[in-house]
Amino acid sequence: MSPSDLSPENGSSSNNSVTLTDEAGRSLLCTIEHFLEVEGAEYLLLMPVDFPIQIVAWDEDDYDDDSAEATLLEDDEEIDFLFPDAKAVLAEHNLTLKHTAYTLTAAGELPVVDQEEILAIELEDEDGELEPDEFKLLANFYYEEQEYGIYTPIEPLLFLAKRNHTGQLELLSPEEFHKVQPLLEELLFDGLE
């Protein structure tokens, strides 16, 4: 597969939107940032319409220390349990929290980024390597003496999906991602020139 396999229709498309659906039946409305066709398969680079949200649990013993431990919540049961409180806290900031597919999201206008309220966390990528990510604090709340923070990533959250044989969108497996990644990077680099 080479760049010559790209169809002439490949490129940027900011006017279209699509919906991703997860196994639980939740949906996530996304804009199509770029698309490409490779060997007859259509790949889409998608960005959620609303802001992605992460809930972080703080180690209450170390919170006042610069070395406090922050843990991103990934367990669906724990997120479901805390969702009503997080939703109420964000509502006080005129943001609407949604339990969407693949990530929580919030609709509304985000406050201006305060550099002192940015959280840097190293997250494992698809290859198992640690990559630093930065998150902006939106609000804090407590549940049973445990402090939680509600954050949104500074960098856009992007999904790479393809249309399957039935025309439905599905996220790429790690193997498929590695196959398409060089072509997508070339397309994005060409778009910046």
Model-level pTM? 0.79
Question: 110 and 74 share a domain?
Answer: yes
Question: 106 and 145 share a domain?
Answer: yes
Check residues 126 and 106 and name the one with the higher pLDDT.
106
Q: How many domains does the chain have?
A: 2
Question: 127 and 78 share a domain?
Answer: yes
Question: 84 and 33 share a domain?
Answer: no
Tens digit of each residue's pLDDT (9 = 90 or more) over 155-181: 999 899 998 888 889 998 878 887 777
Question: 167 and 106 share a domain?
Answer: no
Q: Which helix (H) or strand (E) holds 80?
A: helix 76-91
Coil/strand/helix, residue 29: strand
What is the domain extent for residue 137?
51-153
Q: What average pLDDT is seen over the chain?
A: 81
Total count of residues recorded for the chain = 193
pLDDT for the residue numbered 14: 45
Q: Decide if 14 contacts 31 (C-beta within 8 A).
A: yes
CA torsion 56-57-60-61 (nearest 10°) is -90
Joined tokens for residue 57: 């649990």
Question: 63 and 146 share a domain?
Answer: yes
Question: 148 and 185 share a domain?
Answer: no
Question: 81 and 128 share a domain?
Answer: yes
Tens digit of each residue's pLDDT (9 = 90 or more) over 111-167: 887 777 888 877 666 566 667 788 999 999 999 889 999 999 999 998 999 988 888
pLDDT of 82 > 90? The answer is: yes
Euclidean distance between CA atoms 145 and 31, whole angstroms: 39
Question: 167 and 183 share a domain?
Answer: yes
Check residues 73 and 3 and name the one with the higher pLDDT.
73
Tens digit of each residue's pLDDT (9 = 90 or more) over 8-62: 344 444 458 999 999 999 999 999 998 888 778 888 889 999 999 999 998 865 4
